[in-house]
Structure 1
Amino acid sequence: MMFKLWLLLLLLFLSLFSKAQEIAKGKISDSLKEESSTTSISEVVLRAAPRNLKLNDGNIVMSVAGNKNFKTSTNLLEVLRKTPGVTIDQEEGIFIGGRIAPAIFIDGKAVVMSSQELQGYLRSLSPEMVESVEINTNPSSRYDAEFKGIIDIKLKKNMNLGWKGNYNGNMYINKFTYRENSLNLSYNTEKVAYHFLTGYNNGIYTYRYNALQNLANTNIMRTRMYQIDDGAVYNIQAGMDFRLNEKNRLGINIRRNLRESHRTRSGTLYITEKNESEVVLNSENDNPTDYSQGNYGITADYTFQNKDFKLNFLGNYLAVKNKQQDDFINRDKPTSDLLSYWKSDLLNKINIQTVQADASYKAGNADFEAGVKYSHSDTNNNIRYDTLSTGNQFVFDPTRSNIFRYKEKILAGYIAYKQKFGQLQINAGLRFENTQSISNAVTVDSVVSRNYLEWLPSFSASYSFNPSHELSLSYSRKITRPVFSQLNPFRFYFSPLNYWIGNPYLQPSFTSQVKATYRYKNWITSFIFGKEKDVMTRYPMYNPETNVLEYLGANLPYRNFAIMETSFPVKIAKWWNITGQVTGYYNYEFRPYLDEVFAIGIYNFEVRLNQVFSLPKGYTVNLFANYESKSGNSLYLFKPRYTVDLSVQKSWLDNKLSTKIGYNNIFDSYDQYGEFRHKYIMDNRLNHWWDSSRFFFTLNYQFGNSKYQVKEIQKTDEENRTR
C-alpha cells in the first residue's frame, strides 16, 4: 500500500512539474512541440527507448556513455546500482543473480584490487569514461570456477598520442562527512603508454544495531549498539604498457594501498523481567578499535598475436598485512563499576602468487581456446587476547586467543569451443580444478588437509530470429571454496554476548544452474534455476544459561533456487525516459537445525523504477526508487523496505566540467528489520541501520589532449577470497 501511494504521489508531482514548466515558459519548447501529438501526459503514449540494451551470448550489455539513464550518476558504482540485474547493498557490496558477489572485469580481464580498493576505483570512473557494462550471471568454463557471476566493464578507448587527466571528487554529508578524491593521468607515445592513478579518501561512516530478545528465563533483553568509523585510505598505482611491435605487447603494473581506521563502538545491554517492572541488568560496553592495512602488488602481462592466433601470459604477486587492536570494556551503567575488560591484538599476513597462460585460435566460423593456471596462497593469522584479572593485571586468555594458518594450491585448465551456424551460435567448454589445502588451527592442534579434483562443464546456445527477437540457453557447474574468514576459528565480537566464529571443517559448495534469456526489442527477460549442494551458511546458537548468541558456520545439504527478471526501458516523452525492472526470487533450503529440519520455500520480489528528465538549459534530473518485498530464509524473516534517490546534473566548459548534486535514500527508509521465525527456539528481533541517507556533491573535470585508455591490471580468484 505504501509503495502504491508513493507511485501516485510521484505521478502527481510529475504532472504538476510539467504544468509549471509550461506556465513559466509561456509556451512549450520547440522540442516538446514536435512531440506534442504523441507525448501529452494526459494521453501517455509509450514509445520505444533508444537501444541502450542488447544481448551477448545471453548476457545483458548496457551502454553507459551517452546513456541518459546514467547522466546524473556520480560514478560507475552508482551506474551499477541502476543497471538491470545488479544490486548494491548498504555497505556497497556488489551482487548479481540474487546474492552472488561477482568478479569485476575491465575490458575482459579482472582487476587486481581488494573489495575496498575496487569500490574506490569504481568511484573514480565517471559514466562518460565507460562504453558499456556486461552482466554475466552464468560464466562458462573458461573462467575460474569461483566466478558464479561476472560484471565486465568496457572502457572508452582512443589511441591518440599525448596525455590525458581526470579528477573526480565526491562529498557525502549527513551527520558526518566523507570525501573521495582521485586523480588519473596517462601519457601515450607511439611505443609506450604510461599511466598513474592516485586517490585519497577520508571521513566518517556510522552504523546502528538494535535487538530485542525474550530470554529463556522470560526476561527481556534489549541490545543497542552505535558505531562510528573514522578512516582514511591512500592508494597509488603506476604502470607502463609497451607496444614492442605489431605482434607483441608487454605490460607492467605496480601498486600500493594504505588504509587506517579508528572505530568507536559503544552499546548497552538492558535486561528486565517479563513485565519490565524490575531491571535485572543495565550494562554499557565500549569497543574502540585501531585498524591498519598495507598491501602492494606487481603484475606482468605479455601478449603475442599473429593473424588468428593469440597467446597471453600473466603473472601476479600480492602481499597484504593487516593489524588490529581492540579493547572490550564492559561496565555496570548505573554505578560505572567495571564488569569485564579484555584486549585483543591481531596480525594477519596474506601472500598470493599466480601464473597463467591462455591461447586462442580462430578457424573460419569456429574459435578454439585453451588455458592453464596455477595459484598459491599462504595466510597466517595470529590473534591474542588478554583479560584483566582480579589483581588488576592483564593475563593471557587462551580460550579466545588463536593462531591459524591456511595454505592453498590450485592447478586449473580448460578447453573451450565456439562456432556460429547462420543465426545459431554454440559454445561449449570443460574445466578442471585440482585443489590442495591445509588449514592448521595451531592453538587447538587441529589440522585439516584436503586434495580434490573437480570437472566443471558448461554449454550455451543462442539464436537470433531477427533484429527484434533473440533467445539463449546456457548451463554451467561451479565450485565455491570457503574464504579465509569462514574457516578461521576465532571470535569476532559484535557485543560481549554476541559474536561469530569460523569453521575450519567447512566443505566447498557446488552449484549447477540453467539460464534462459529472451529479448524482444528493448524488453529483456531471463529465468535462472538450479541447485546448490553443501551450501555454506551461518546459523545462530543461543545458550539459555549464559545468554550468549553465537553465529557458527556449517554446510547445508542443499538448496533449490530460481530467479526471474524482466527489464523494460520506455520513452514516455522526448524529455522523460523510464527504465523499469521487476525481479522475482525463489529459495528452498533444506536446513537441519538443532533436532529439527526446516525446509521452507521463500518467495520475494524487487521492483525498481528509474526516471530521467531532460530539462531546458542542459539540466538532467534523475528520480530512482527501489522496493524490496518481505524476504528471508528458513530461520529468519526480513520486513519490506524501500529507498528513493533524487539527483541533478549539469555540464559546463564545453562538457569538460560536470557537477552533480542529490540526496540518496531521501526518507531514510532502507534499514533492515529481521526476526527469528521459530519463537519456541529463540524469540529474537533485530535491526541494522546504515547512514545511506545523505546529501552528495560531485565534481568531475577532464583535461589533456588524448583519450588513450591504458590496459587495466588484473585480479585473481584467490584475491577475491581474501575479503
Structure 2
Amino acid sequence: MKLPYLLTLLFITVLCTCGFAQNTITGRVVDKGSGQPIEFATVLVSDATTKAGIGGTTTDLAGNFTLKTATTEVYLDISFIGFETRRQEAISFSAGQADLGLIELAATGQTLEEVTVRAEKSQTEFKLDKRVFNVGKDLSSTGAGALEVLNNVPSVNVTIEGQVQLRGSGGVQILINGKPSVIASEQGNLLGTITADMIESVEVITNPSAKYDAEGTAGIINIVLKKEERKGLNGAISVNTGTPENHSVGLSLNRRTDKFNLFSQLGVGYREQPNEERAINQDRVSGNTVSSEGTEFRNEFYYNAVLGTDYLINERNVITLSGNFSYEIEDQPSRNDFTLTDAANEILSTWKREEETEATNPKYQFELQYKRDFEDHKDHDLIFSALGTLFSKDQSSEFANTTLSGLDRDGRQQTRTNFGQQENTFKVDYTRPVNEKMTVETGAQYVTSNVNNDFSVSNFDGTNFVVDPDLTNIFNWNQKVLAFYGTGAYQFANLGIKFGLRLENTDLETLLETTNESNDQNYSNLFPSAASSYKISDAVSVQASYSRRIFRPRLWDLNPFFNPRNNFNIRAGNPNLQPEFTDSYEVTSIFILGETSFNVGAYRRYTTDVVERITIFQDNVSITTPRNIGINRTTGLELNFKTIPAKFMTITGDLNYNFFSREGELEGTSFDFSADQYSGKMTTKFNLPLDFDFEVTGQYQSAFQTVQSEVSEQLFADLGLRKKLFGGKGAVSFSVRDLFASRIQESVIDQVEVYQYSRRLRGRFITLGFSYGFGKGETMEYSGQRRRG
C-alpha cells in the first residue's frame, strides 16, 4: 500500500509552500493609575476585515509583548482581570514594524465584576451536529483536571478505572483538538496532564458525521484546548496516595518561546487493584456444583515519560512532534477457594487455586502533526497527522491447586505469553469555508494494526512441565483500514444542515500458526451521515441527525487464548467473529430557562450481526465467547439538566431509558426477547467558605437482560472534597469512589440443565492528593495510566 508515502509527500509539499509572517507588533501594557506593568495580560490580534481572531500572546513580567502577523489590516484587544478591555485600532506599519508604545489599561468598578460573574458559568449549546460544553471559570479556576471537567459534561461519566462513558456506554473515542493524540490514546490515561484552565470547550458528538471514524456507536468527545500562549517556564507537580495502595508522583513542565513550545511530563507510581469474585456453576443433570470465592489482585509499578514540542514556523504554520514511553512491572498474587458438592449438597472436595504472575509491559507512542491555517478564514485549515503506537507484554504465570479436603485436586500449571502490537494512523483533513454560510470538509485516513501473540500452556506431570498442544499456539492479527470522506454544511439564519459520506475498506487477516487456521476478510462499506439544527429562540434549539456506524471485533474478541486463573469460568475470543453495523437516528432539543438548562432527546438504533457473549457448559466448566447473533432494535429517551439554585450550589443530572428487542438464532436455539433498562446520575457541587469545594454523586443502573443472563441493578455514590491553597495555585483533594462499596455486579444464567451465578466487586477507593502549579502553571492531576492487556 503506497498511501503512507503519498501522504508524507503531500505533507512535505504543503510545508515547502508555506509563507512566513513579515510584520511585527510590539508594545508595553501598564496600569493607567499607577504606571506599573501588567504581567500576563492577554493580547489578541484580529483581522480588521473579517473580524476573525488570527493570533495572540500574553505580556511578560515587564508588561511587554511581541506579535507577528501576515497582514497589516488588524486590530488588537488587550485585557486583564480587573481592568477594562482596550481595543487598539488603526495600527500603522513601517518596514513591517509597528511599535505601539505604552498601552494603558484602566481599573474597572462594579460593572466589570458583574460581567465576570456571568462569564464564569460553564454552559452548553448546540452547534449543528454537536453539543458544545463551554468551560467557564467555575471549573477552570479550581485546579481541576480534564477528567473532572468531563464528569461535569451532561451525558458523560468517568468510571472508577478512569474509563470515559457517554450515555452509559463505553468505547468512546476521545480527540484533542479534533484529532487522535498521545494524551488521549488508549495506551494510557494521560488526560490528567490537561488542567481545566487549558480547556476552551468539550464537544460531544453522539452521532458523528462522515468526517470521523465509523468505528463505535457511543460517540465522540473532542477536547478543544485554548490557544493561549504562556511564555517562560511553567509547570505543576502532583502527589497522590490512597487505599487500596495507590501512590503516584507526577511532574509537568512547559517552556514556551516565540518559536517553540516544549512540553514534558514525568510520572511514577504504584497501585493495587483488588477484585473480589464469587461464582457458582451447577450441573442440574448430574446435580454436581462447583462454587468458588476469592480475591484477585493486579499490582503494578509504572513509569511514564512524555516529551514533545510545537514548532511555530509562523503564526499560520505549526508542527507538533511528541512521544510517550511507559513501562509497567506487574505482579498478580491471586487465590480462589473451590468447593465441589453433589446433588445431596454433600461436600466431595475442597481446594485452593493460587496464582503467581509476573509481567513487564513497555509501551511507546509518537505523534507528528502539521497544521496550516489559511489567511482568508479562521476555519480554513489543512492538517496532516501521523500517530504510531507499540505495546508489548512478556508474562509468565504459575497456578497451583492444593487439596484441602476430600477428592484429590492437586495440580500445577504454567502459562507464558509473548505479545506485541503495533498500530499506525496516517490522516489528512482539509476544511474550507466557501463563504460565511457554507463549509466543505474532505480527507483520507489509513490505519494499520499488527499483532503477534505467542501463548503456551504447560501442565506438571509430577516431574516436569509438559506443553499442552491443545492450548498452545501463535495468533497473528493484521488489519488495514483505508478511508475517504467528504462533508458539506450550510448555515441559514437559524437553520443549519450537514451531509456527509465516508468510504471504508477493511482488510483483515488472522492466523493460528501451529494449527494453520486462518480467517481472512476484505470488505468495503459506505457510511452516510446527515445532521440539522434549528435555533427557535435564544432559549430553545432542536437538532436531528443520522449516521451509520460499524463495530469491528477487537483483538481480545478474536484472540482464542484465555487466562486460566479460574479454570471453571473461562473467557476466550472467537477468530471467526464478524463486524456489527448500526443505523443511528436522534432528535435532541435544548431549553435554557434562567439558571437551568435541559437537554431532551430521543434516539433509535438498528444493529445487525450483534456481538453477544455466549456461555456454554461442560462438566461444570463455563466457557464464554463472543458470537454474532441476529439483530437489535433500541429506542431510547434521554434527559440531561443543569441548574444553579443558589450561588454556592450546582446540580447536574442525567436520566436515560431505552427499550430494546432482540431477534436471533444460534445452532437451533432462539434468542428472541424484549426488555428495557434505565439509568440515572445526579451530581451536586457546593462552593463552601474558605475555598472549600464539596461534590457528591449518586448513580443508579437498573437490572437488565442479555441473551442468556439477568444482570443485577447497581446503586452507588462517590464524593470529593477540595481545598484551594496559595490563591488557587495549589490544592489538597480527597475523594472516595464507591462510598458504600455497593457497586456490585451480579449476573445469573438460569436454564433447564445449568445454573450459573457470578458476582464481582472492586470495592471502595480512597485517594488523597496535593498539587501545585508554578510559573503560570496550574494545579494538575496525575493518576498514572489506564491498565491494558
What is residue 201 of structure 1 aligned with on the other side? 269
In the alignment, is residue 160 of structure 1 matched against residue 211 of structure 2?
no
179-188 vs 79-88, which moves further? 79-88
Partners in 1 of 2:787 and 2:240 — Cα distance?
29
Contact kept, 8 Å, 1:211 with 1:685, in 2: the verdict is yes
> SS at the partner of 2:188?
helix
In the alignment, is residue 402 of structure 1 matched against residue 473 of structure 2?
yes
1:272 to 341, 349, 356: 341
Contact kept, 8 Å, 2:187 with 2:363, in 1: the verdict is no
What is residue 291 of structure 2 aligned with on the other side? 222
1:243 maps to a residue whose letter is L
Q: Residue 274 and residue 335 in structure 1: after superposition, are their counterparts in 2 closer, same or farther (change >3 A)? A: closer
In the alignment, is residue 182 of structure 1 matched against residue 239 of structure 2?
no
What is residue 321 of structure 1 aligned with on the other side? 392
Q: Residue 652 and residue 663 in structure 1: after superposition, are their counterparts in 2 closer, same or farther (change >3 A)? A: same
1:649 to 722, 728, 732: 722
Contact kept, 8 Å, 1:539 with 1:552, in 2: the verdict is yes
2:240 to 161, 170, 178: 170
> SS at the partner of 1:617?
coil
Q: Residue 71 and residue 608 in structure 1: after superposition, are their counterparts in 2 closer, same or farther (change >3 A)? A: farther
> SS at the partner of 2:564?
strand
Q: Deviations over 1:141-192 (max 9, x none)?
A: 101111431111223442132121012233222xx32013222111111111
Partners in 2 of 1:373 and 1:695 — Cα distance?
42
1:242 to 293, 311, 336: 311
Deviation at 1:253, TM superposition (A): 1.2
Q: Deviations over 1:609-632 (max 9, x none)?
A: 211222222222212111222223
In the alignment, is residue 303 of structure 1 matched against residue 371 of structure 2?
yes
Q: Residue 393 and residue 160 in structure 1: after superposition, are their counterparts in 2 closer, same or farther (change >3 A)? A: closer
Contact kept, 8 Å, 2:143 with 2:730, in 1: the verdict is no
Partners in 1 of 2:210 and 2:577 — Cα distance?
24
Deviation at 1:318, TM superposition (A): 2.2
In the alignment, is residue 292 of structure 1 matched against residue 376 of structure 2?
no
Deviation at 1:272, TM superposition (A): 1.7
1:84 maps to a residue whose letter is P
Deviation at 1:50, TM superposition (A): 5.0
Partners in 2 of 1:379 and 1:721 — Cα distance?
18
1:387 to 436, 459, 471: 459
Relative contact order (C-alpha < 8 Å, sep 6+): which is higher?
Answer: 1
What is residue 31 of structure 1 aligned with on the other side? none
Deviation at 1:212, TM superposition (A): 2.3
What is residue 103 of structure 1 aligned with on the other side? 173
Structure 1 unmatched ranges of 5 or more: 1-48, 710-719
Partners in 2 of 1:456 and 1:86 — Cα distance?
25
Contact kept, 8 Å, 1:575 with 1:615, in 2: the verdict is yes
Deviation at 1:77, TM superposition (A): 2.6
Contact kept, 8 Å, 1:483 with 1:721, in 2: the verdict is no
Q: Residue 64 and residue 270 in structure 1: after superposition, are their counterparts in 2 closer, same or farther (change >3 A)? A: farther
Q: Deviations over 1:674-696 (max 9, x none)?
A: 211x43142111110003x1332
1:505 to 576, 588, 606: 576
Deviation at 1:75, TM superposition (A): 3.6
What is residue 41 of structure 1 aligned with on the other side? none
> SS at the partner of 1:443?
coil
Partners in 1 of 2:608 and 2:250 — Cα distance?
43
2:440 maps to a residue whose letter is F
What is residue 281 of structure 1 aligned with on the other side? 349
CA RMSD in angstroms comes to: 2.5
Query: Number of aligned pairs?
Result: 655
In the alignment, is residue 580 of structure 1 matched against residue 653 of structure 2?
yes
What is residue 531 of structure 1 aligned with on the other side? 606
Q: 1:602-681 to 2 correspondence within 5 Å?
A: 602-676=675-749, 678-681=750-753
> SS at the partner of 1:485?
helix
> SS at the partner of 2:690?
helix
Partners in 1 of 2:394 and 2:281 — Cα distance?
34
Contact kept, 8 Å, 2:355 with 2:398, in 1: the verdict is yes
Deviation at 1:74, TM superposition (A): 6.0
Q: Residue 222 and residue 659 in structure 1: after superposition, are their counterparts in 2 closer, same or farther (change >3 A)? A: same
2:146 maps to a residue whose letter is L
Q: Residue 73 and residue 291 in structure 1: after superposition, are their counterparts in 2 closer, same or farther (change >3 A)? A: farther
Q: Residue 326 and residue 622 in structure 1: after superposition, are their counterparts in 2 closer, same or farther (change >3 A)? A: same
What is residue 28 of structure 1 aligned with on the other side? none
> SS at the partner of 1:582?
strand
In the alignment, is residue 419 of structure 1 matched against residue 490 of structure 2?
yes
Deviation at 1:194, TM superposition (A): 0.7
In the alignment, is residue 77 of structure 1 matched against residue 77 of structure 2?
no
Deviation at 1:411, TM superposition (A): 1.3
Deviation at 1:82, TM superposition (A): 4.6
Contact kept, 8 Å, 2:122 with 2:135, in 1: the verdict is no
Normalised TM-score (structure 2): 0.79
Q: 1:430-469 to 2 correspondence within 5 Å?
A: 430-469=501-540
Q: Deviations over 1:294-317 (max 9, x none)?
A: 121222211223224422211233
Deviation at 1:567, TM superposition (A): 1.4
2:729 maps to a residue whose letter is K
Partners in 1 of 2:356 and 2:203 — Cα distance?
42
Partners in 1 of 2:352 and 2:122 — Cα distance?
57
Deviation at 1:430, TM superposition (A): 0.5
Q: Decide which structure has the larger Cα Rg and report it.
A: 2
In the alignment, is residue 371 of structure 1 matched against residue 440 of structure 2?
no
Partners in 2 of 1:638 and 1:706 — Cα distance?
46
Q: Residue 645 and residue 255 in structure 1: after superposition, are their counterparts in 2 closer, same or farther (change >3 A)? A: closer
1:355 to 405, 426, 445: 426
Normalised TM-score (structure 1): 0.86
Partners in 2 of 1:443 and 1:647 — Cα distance?
52
Q: Deviations over 1:498-540 (max 9, x none)?
A: 2112111111111111011101111111222111111122211
Structure 2 unmatched ranges of 5 or more: 1-119, 781-785
Q: Residue 58 and residue 105 in structure 1: after superposition, are their counterparts in 2 closer, same or farther (change >3 A)? A: same
In the alignment, is residue 67 of structure 1 matched against residue 135 of structure 2?
no
What is residue 281 of structure 2 aligned with on the other side? 213
What is residue 208 of structure 2 aligned with on the other side? 139
What is residue 262 of structure 1 aligned with on the other side? 331
Partners in 2 of 1:52 and 1:555 — Cα distance?
42
